[in-house]
Every structure is written in C-alpha cells, then in structure tokens.
Amino acid sequence: MPENRTFDNIPATRQQSAGGIAHETGELHRLLVDSIDDYAIFALDPDGYILSWNAGAQRLKGYTAREIIGQHFSIFYPPEKIAQSFPAFELREAARVGRFEDEGWRVRKDGSRFWANVVITALRDPSDRHLVGFAKVTRDLTDRRQAEETLRQSEERFRLLVQGVKDYAIFMLDPTGHITTWNAGAERIKGYTSDEIIGKHFSIFYTPEDLESGKPARELKVAGSTGVYEEEGWRVRKDGSRFWANVVITALRKPDGSLVGFAKVTRDLTDRRAAQQRAIEAAKKAAVSDESNRTKSEFLAAMSHELRTPLNAIGGYTDLLTMGVRGSVTQEQLDDLQRIKRSQQHLLGIINDILNYSRAEAGQTIYDYATVPLTGVIENVAHMIEPQAAAKNIFLTIQACPPNIVVWADKSKVEQILLNLLSNAVKFTNEGSVTLACDWHDEQRVGITVHDTGLGIPADQLERIFEPFVQVARSLTRAQEGTGLGLAISRDLARGMGGDIVATSEIGKGSQFRLTLPRDQNTRV
C-alpha cells in the first residue's frame, strides 16, 4: 500500500472554507443519488411535478430524465389510483405529517406494473419552513412480493391439503396444549367439529385412567424436551367410545428456539389392532391344534401297538389251524379260517394306514432322503403288483424311466405311493389294462403316470378322493374294502418330498394319477 494512503497521511483538506465544503458535499450527494441503481430517488415540486431523476428511477420506471422531468408524478399510478385521487392524497399527507409511506402497484413506461414501496418526504426550507417540494424514494418489491405470494399460496395449498386429509387427525396445539387447528381426519376420527373443539385442551381425548396419571402433560413435556413423542394407546371419541391410536406429537419451534406449540398427528389403528388380535388368536389356536395333533398321533401309535399284538396272535393261530397243526380241518372250516385271515390282514392294513396318516398330519413323517434312480423303484413295485393284476386278468404294462432320471426323495415312500396308485388302479378296474409310465420330465421335475381303463371317478369327486376316509367307488366294485386313507397319505407324502399327485378321470373309461417328484439337481446329466 503506498505511503500517502495511510490514514495518518490523509491531507487536512477539510480545513477549506465552509462554503467550499457545502458545495462539495452537495455535489457529492447529487453524484451519490444519481448513481444509485436500486432505488428510484427523485424530487417533486410542491404540486407534484418531477424535478430530478436518478439512475435507479430510470431503471425501475423506464423513463429517461429528459422524458420525465417536468411531468406530473401521477403518471406512475394505475388508473384506479388516479380515479381515487391517490397521488394528490399522498402529497397532502406528506406535507401534513412530513412523510408518507405506501406499498402498492405502480406503472412503468411500457405499461407493465411493479409492486413498489414508496416513501415521500416533504422538503421544507430550514429558514421559514415553507414547502419547497418532495423527495420520493421508490423500491421495486415485485420479487419480494412474488416470493411472499408464492409462499402464501404454498402455505394455503398445504393448509388445504392438511385440512382435507381424512385418514389422519392432524391438528395443532398451543404451548399449553389447547387446540388451535383441526382437520377433516380429526373430525372423522374423534367426532368433534372444529367449532366444538378449537380452544379446548387436548386432554379431552384421553381416558380417565390416563388423565388421572397425568399422561397428557407428560407427553407434552417429553415432546418439548426431546422434540417428538410417539406412542400407541387408547383414546376417547366425542361419543365416549374408545379407539386404538398411534399418536405423534412434534414440538414446533421458531428458528430462535422458542416454542410455538405442537403438531399432533393421530391415526386410528383400531381395525389393525383387531386384525392383529385375530391373527394372534388364530396362531394360538393353531399351536393348540398342533399340540393336539401331536397328542393324537402319540395316542394312535400306542393304540396301534396295543391292537397289533392281539391281531398278530389271531393271525398266528389262524395259520396254525389252517396248516392242520391242531388236527385235520374240513373244507368248510378252511374257508372260514381264510375269511378270518383276510379280515385280520385287512384290519392290520387299516391300523397301519391310520397310524401313517396321523403321523403325516402331525408333520412327524421322517423322510430318509437320498438320490433315487426311478428305474429300480418302478421294477420293485411292478413285481409286487403283478400277482394282483394277474388274479384279475388285468394287463399290466410298465414303461420304465430313462436311466438318467434320478429323484431326490425317500425311496420307500416313493414305493409306497406308487404301490398305492397301482393297487387302486387294479382294484377299481374290472377288465382292461393298467399302465405305469415314466412319461414326462423337465429340468426340475419328473412325472410318473398310472393309467387304468377302469370305473373312473365322477368329476365332482375328483378332489374329494384325496380327503381321508373318502371312498367313492366302493359300491361299484367288488374289490375288498379299503380305508379311504391311501390317497390322502400318498398325497401328503408326495407333497412332503416337494412333489404332488394330480388325478384326472372319465367315468366308465378310466383314471390317470400323475405323481411328480423333484429331480436330483446334483446328479442330473
């Protein structure tokens, strides 16, 4: 910084003649005013004719000094203000009290309007106080007004939005908890109209128990100190009924931190709570029925053991008699013994089925999973069913699986299912054929179908046959009575291994049962 510009070195020029200073200051002011760009600053004579004009005035109003000086200042006013003689009023007031301030629309040279803040100051001669004219300072506040208007509109929109919300009660409290606003949701949920409730204390919504424990005040205290309070609890409607509410209270503070009040948002969760309650009850019941299923299957296991022992004894002694160990038997007696034996076998079958079914129902079936090539399984069951088919003169065809078809399953359970499907097919076919075909597979699954040309199943019974103890075709067949549990167990087992059984049938023509099982993903080639 050069030496001669330090403050110490400011030359003492202020000691020039007083007149010189005054002149210099006047000139400086003129320059200052002239160059100000943000304010229109100009002088009027006592009648309102324009005497001077600055850069800001030109920028704001669009006239050059040459155009405007000598014109009456009412040129800046919109017609409605002129009609009210407002310009003249302004000057009169400024002359009377020294100063007049106003905000309003003014007109630019091009006819456009701007929102102006106008201050008119009366200028008086210091010696005799007579009016020499007016100073007029105008600011363009259009932007500020627009911003205010935008804000007002957005606040209005927001107010309308809140007002219209029906699912939430949204309202405001003053710092002491008195209600200051109310919306449609609040009216819907709590039952009060805004006329009834505004001004009341918000503790009106609380149950007597909560009031006694001082809960409303506590909630405001927490919201005031932490900013927000949230809870779920019972609240009371105008008609005295209770509803389960989710409540959020938010403290509203000014930027300086002072508390303005609270915003309270309440939701009615009565229905949701009731649904939750129902779900809990259902889960409890399910748990109880799981428990009772377990007890049932334990009971059935014990019972079947108890039943099997004497049944086996009956079978054993029947065999002894049949073999003539106790002495010779007549043909008639032999026939009777065979009937006893068949019934004993049948009863054993029923006991086994019941036991299996109750285990499957209780989810207690244990699956011994392994990689199972279907070819071997199908050969086994075909051998087992051959004698039955041959006895009824039924033509049995087996269409084996390709060797690469391998499932991930419990081998003995797959055999049990296929044997059940095959023996049903044979049982419910009086003449014709039964076919087992490994006839379908995709990336994930394999399908094995058992076809027969037997009695068929009425369409409306097709799903029912999978229910336990349902026997549709009993009257149509001479087959030995079953238990009606075979298909129920088979489908449970198939589903338990990730597969399924689906039946189609045409009455008089035959039936198809397709078992699907998941392929073993690791050994697939």
Query: Among residues 158 and 469, whose Cβ is nearest to ligand ADP?
Result: 469
In whole angstroms, the minimum distance from the beta carbon of 422 to ligand ADP comes to: 9
- Give the strand pairing for 445-452 and 510-518: antiparallel
In whole angstroms, the minimum distance from the beta carbon of 351 to ligand ADP comes to: 13
In whole angstroms, the minimum distance from the beta carbon of 335 to ligand ADP comes to: 25
CA distance 228 to 199: 22
Query: Among residues 137 and 354, whose Cβ is nearest to ligand ADP?
Result: 354
Element housing 207 (H / E): none
Query: Among residues 250 and 433, whose Cβ is nearest to ligand ADP?
Result: 433
In whole angstroms, the minimum distance from the beta carbon of 306 to ligand ADP comes to: 23
Query: Among residues 233 and 484, whose Cβ is nearest to ligand ADP?
Result: 484
Query: Among residues 4 and 475, whose Cβ is nearest to ligand ADP?
Result: 475
Report the chain's C-alpha Rg in angstroms. 51
Q: Report the interface residues with ligand ADP, using CB under 6 A.
A: 420, 424-425, 428, 452, 454-455, 457, 465, 470-474, 482-488, 511
Length of the chain: 525
In whole angstroms, the minimum distance from the beta carbon of 352 to ligand ADP comes to: 12
Query: Among residues 455 and 494, whose Cβ is nearest to ligand ADP?
Result: 455
Burial of 497 (0-12, 13-18, 19+ CB in 10 A): buried
Query: Among residues 170 and 455, whose Cβ is nearest to ligand ADP?
Result: 455
Query: Among residues 380 and 471, whose Cβ is nearest to ligand ADP?
Result: 471
Decide if 269 contacts 246 (C-beta within 8 A).
yes
DSSP secondary structure string for all residues of 137-194:
EEEE-HHHHHHHHHHHHHHHHHHHHHHH--SEEEEEE-TTSBB----HHHHHHH---H
Query: Among residues 484 and 496, whose Cβ is nearest to ligand ADP?
Result: 484
Query: Among residues 138 and 358, whose Cβ is nearest to ligand ADP?
Result: 358
Other Cβ atoms within 10 Å of 179 Cβ, number:
22
Strand partners, 83: none
In whole angstroms, the minimum distance from the beta carbon of 289 to ligand ADP comes to: 23
DSSP secondary structure string for all residues of 4-34:
GGSGGG---GGGS-HHHHHHHHHHHHHHHHH
Burial of 183 (0-12, 13-18, 19+ CB in 10 A): buried
CA distance 340 to 188: 77
Structure tokens at 351: 């006991």
CA distance 427 to 433: 12
First to last CA, the chain: 91
CA distance 480 to 341: 13
Classify 490 as helix, strand or coil: helix
In whole angstroms, the minimum distance from the beta carbon of 361 to ligand ADP comes to: 14
Query: Among residues 318 and 449, whose Cβ is nearest to ligand ADP?
Result: 449
Decide if 36 contacts 57 (C-beta within 8 A).
no
CA distance 466 to 13: 118
Element housing 289 (H / E): helix 270-322
In whole angstroms, the minimum distance from the beta carbon of 477 to ligand ADP comes to: 8
In whole angstroms, the minimum distance from the beta carbon of 503 to ligand ADP comes to: 8
- Tell how far CA 51 is from the center of its chain: 71
Q: Which of these, 517, 378, 511, 375, lies nearest to 436 by C-alpha position?
A: 378
CA distance 181 to 161: 13
Closest-by-Cβ residue to ligand ADP is 482
Query: Among residues 94 and 450, whose Cβ is nearest to ligand ADP?
Result: 450
In whole angstroms, the minimum distance from the beta carbon of 455 to ligand ADP comes to: 5
CB contact set of 491 (below 8 Å; sequence gap of 6+): 466, 500, 501
Query: Among residues 446 and 501, whose Cβ is nearest to ligand ADP?
Result: 501
Query: Among residues 94 and 488, whose Cβ is nearest to ligand ADP?
Result: 488
In whole angstroms, the minimum distance from the beta carbon of 308 to ligand ADP comes to: 19
In whole angstroms, the minimum distance from the beta carbon of 372 to ligand ADP comes to: 23
Strand partners, 252: 261
In whole angstroms, the minimum distance from the beta carbon of 427 to ligand ADP comes to: 6
| Residue keyed to tokens 């006991």 | 351
Burial of 157 (0-12, 13-18, 19+ CB in 10 A): exposed
In whole angstroms, the minimum distance from the beta carbon of 353 to ligand ADP comes to: 7
